Structure 1
Amino acid sequence: MIACKKDQQASPEKVDKNKKSVEIMNAIRPKLYGTWIMKRVDVKAILTARGEIGIQKDTTLTDFANLTVTLVDNYSQPLNDINNDVTGFLSFRAKAYPVGFRMMASPSWLSHSTGPQTVALFDYRFPVGTHIVGADEQYLRYLTVVGDNYTIQVSDDGKTMVWKGLNRAIRQIDFVKQN
């Protein structure tokens, strides 16, 4: 029988989550600007995708759309620099739709510096007021490219980005930065 002497109780390392969140947002912010091509979109055949747009089995879409990031703001709300508020346009079938998402550091990255760096809800950002919904806009929502939560991993060199859908039809979106 082997016995070990306990000199001290093991305690997890204390992580300053706010400080680490700020570090993550500062590291990612400059990499986000520019135009990103949705090179590969992996879609699961779930009810909304099957019923509304006719996707009957798992599907991969290539060169699907472009996401242009025009603003990454961490100062719109005082003392809230632990998030990045990202604004831009999603170009799909010759139309550009205002979109955005508010990034928060992912729990796995905060605690272990592994996995996706952030999580966010990607959605339309039309101005307040009346808005007529077009067919392509509705298609993007039914497909759940827009209106879903994603984990987001940006490569160290800032040339690629991977979004993994958390709730609905999109399994993964692979982005490549346009030069």
Structure 2
Amino acid sequence: MSSKHHIFLTGTPGVGKSTLCQKALQQAVEKGWHCAGFYTEERRDDRGERCGFDVVTLDGLHGPLARVSMGRGPRVGKYSVDLASFERLALPALSVLKQGPPTLVLIDEIGAMELFCRPFFPAVRAVLDAPNVVVLGTIPLPKEGRVFREVAEVSARPDVEVLTVTRANRDVLVSEVVAKLQASLLRSAQRATAL
């Protein structure tokens, strides 16, 4: 039996990590799995240029994560992070019950913008430690030898498998990720029955 319980995807920006997560999530919903969490979505202006990101919860709520034009809040490159919006949306989406049906939790992503929110990473840790939860998440590649401490902690967990997404493998990885998640959810259900 595999000790790897959670899956995190990494890869270069724009390679398709979030898209892969959404495809896997769509299959999970079709299979009737209980799902929670959030993903991030690009926002583009009228010229088609990226102007920011939104956070979208799996129960349909959405709001700004970061914008080029905001000017307030912490900054990541040219983007200002809307901490109040992120906390209002993402933190409740990670508040899964520690008992109940096995749940797939999507965390897209654990990155620079999200980590400005101080309660975020403790919430991520709690989700990863919950016995009835399987996480599908995304993490950034190390940049110029710099790794976020939180990303290093997640990657080093014995119950986490990190898969690198490339343009060559991103389409075939969907079925592999879904199969691994399904096996983990089945193990969670068996553990819950045994208790």
Interval containing the TM-score (normalised by the shorter chain): under 0.3
RCO higher in 1 or 2 (8 Å CA, sep ≥ 6)? 2
TM-score by length of 1: 0.26
Question: 1 or 2, which has the higher strand percentage?
Answer: 1
Task: Output the TM-score relative to the length of structure 2.
Answer: 0.24
- Answer with 1 or 2: which has the greater Rg: 1
